[in-house]
Chains A and B, each alone.
Chain A
Amino acid sequence: MHRELVDRAKRGDEEAFDALAREVGDRCMAIACRILRDTALAEDAVQAALILAWRELRTLRDPGRFEPWLHRILTNECYAEARRRTRWSSNIRLLPVDGQLEAGGILTVNDRDQLERAFRRLTLEQRAVLVFHHYLGLPLPEVADHLGIPRGTAKSRLHHATAALRASVDADARTPSNSQERLA
């Protein structure tokens, strides 16, 4: 799908890269938002990743691998954005959810609250593995490929991250009254 656009962009065709960016930009934003839990930071990370991708595009050998290559750049930019935020701000911004809470969905307010807290305690690297595996639905070998890490590392990060999130859900299930106290 992207191959022709990538080929043209590699030859310096800005229109082709613009079209390519519009094809992959939303997916990148979705990934960055989920890793960073902050739409402003995510937007900055995606922008930086796309510009870096343009600059480095000629180093991409196989145009068919554009998206995994871009995702690797994107996750690195997410890590960089988060580090900058940590360094320069003592405040942690809460996630703007953009009004997309699903009424009638399977998540209760309490589930969401528990998962959000647990997710924020994960390292960025663990979050990235979770997002690529559970959100994008990639199998572990592909997760490792997209993130540029060994499969064993991806597996270990996924295991620990999933366990932490499961524990938060399980713990909450055992103390149902907590949610009412927090909501009060």
Chain B
Amino acid sequence: MTARDPDVLIRAFLDEGRTELPDRAFDAVRRDIHRTRQRVVIGPWRQPNMNMFARVAIVAAAVVVAVGFAWVTFGPSQFGVGGPRPTPTAAPTPSPRALPTTESESPLEPGTSYVTADPFFVRVTFTAPDGWEGKVGGEYLAFANPTGREAPSGGVTFSKFVIVATDPCHSDSEEGAYEFAVPTGSVDNLVSSLVNMDGTDASTPVDVEVDGYFGKQLTLTAPASFEGCTLSPDGYVVWQLPLGTKYSFVAGQRSRLWILQVNSERLVIDVPEVPGQSAQEKADAQALFDSIQIAPAY
């Protein structure tokens, strides 16, 4: 092998470059882990690398269990031979279903766990209330809402938005221009954009934790009437998703927002209350929110 050997050159090329992580990065990690709770592990370990012997052993064990079950269920005890049949055991908790990625919202089975799977950027698991529908709208949006209600009214929305209107009341003019919220920035800078938005009332943001993830909670309230506003055809637009989807409030909407730092991204959970929403719908939305579990997308 000579010095001009391509493999030697490739290795030499890869040898060049920085090899030290600066102290500021270590300091940042130290600060962040102090604020980050470790995930609690419940249940058996996942075994990603299983050798062939172990696989065969597990398959054999499964066959034995299946034969045993069949014997107990359909065997002699069925015909009055042998002891009493065993009491059935509870079925294991099923894995959450993927929230549909269909063009329009799909009905959700009540009491079933759904997860905002690929392509949504975070895995949010929740339990569906009775009479709700939902979908994953892409990498940046997933939602569930009472069947028949136009999303997001009265439902729960999960999103990653990056552009905040400065004045939703004048969404058709330059005054209503959008403020670019840094996509990978902090929760605080997004909260600041929302609090400073003209026309909506914002509650004082408070620190919160949802399923181990930290962030801020605040409530935005739209005016009871949009009289005097100059709205674009999209209405009272408060923010925009990266691919252009606009999110508009209805008059009198009161949106409770949880903005959480999930790894390097910000997950925004919106639980809006709108005029005409029933007490049952509010209770269902709260129950859905209370059931939320969050995990990174991989």
Which A residues lie at the B interface, using CB under 8 A? Answer: 10, 12, 14, 17-18, 21-22, 25-30, 33-34, 39, 42-44, 46-48, 50-52, 54-59, 61, 76-77, 80-81, 84, 87-88, 95, 97-98, 100-102, 105-107, 111-112, 115-116, 119, 130-131, 134-135, 145, 148, 162, 165-166, 169-170, 173
Which B residues lie at the A interface, using CB under 8 A? Answer: 3-4, 6-22, 25-26, 28-30, 32-34, 36-41, 45-49, 183-184, 212, 242, 263-264, 296, 298
- Known A97-B16, A107-B16, A112-B13; contact A28-B3, beta-carbon cutoff 8 A: no
Q: Pick the contact of B25 from A33, A47, A101 — CB < 8 Å?
A: A47
- Measured CB to CB, the closest approach of chain A to B3, in angstroms, equals 5
- Known A55-B37, A80-B264; contact A18-B10, beta-carbon cutoff 8 A: no
- Known A28-B21, A106-B9, A134-B14; contact A18-B26, beta-carbon cutoff 8 A: yes
Residues of B near A105 (CB, < 8 A) are 12
Residues of B near A116 (CB, < 8 A) are 13
Question: By the criterion CB–CB under 8 Å, are B17 and A30 in contact?
Answer: yes
Q: Pick the contact of B10 from A47, A76, A134 — CB < 8 Å?
A: A134
Chain A interface main SS type: helix
Residues of A near B7 (CB, < 8 A) are 134, 162, 166
The 11 sampled A-B contact pairs (Cβ below 8 Å) are: A18-B33, A29-B25, A33-B18, A33-B19, A43-B21, A43-B25, A54-B33, A100-B17, A162-B10, A165-B6, A166-B7
Residues of B near A58 (CB, < 8 A) are 38-41
Residues of B near A29 (CB, < 8 A) are 18-21, 25
- Measured CB to CB, the closest approach of chain A to B4, in angstroms, equals 7
Residues of A near B17 (CB, < 8 A) are 30, 33-34, 95, 97-98, 100
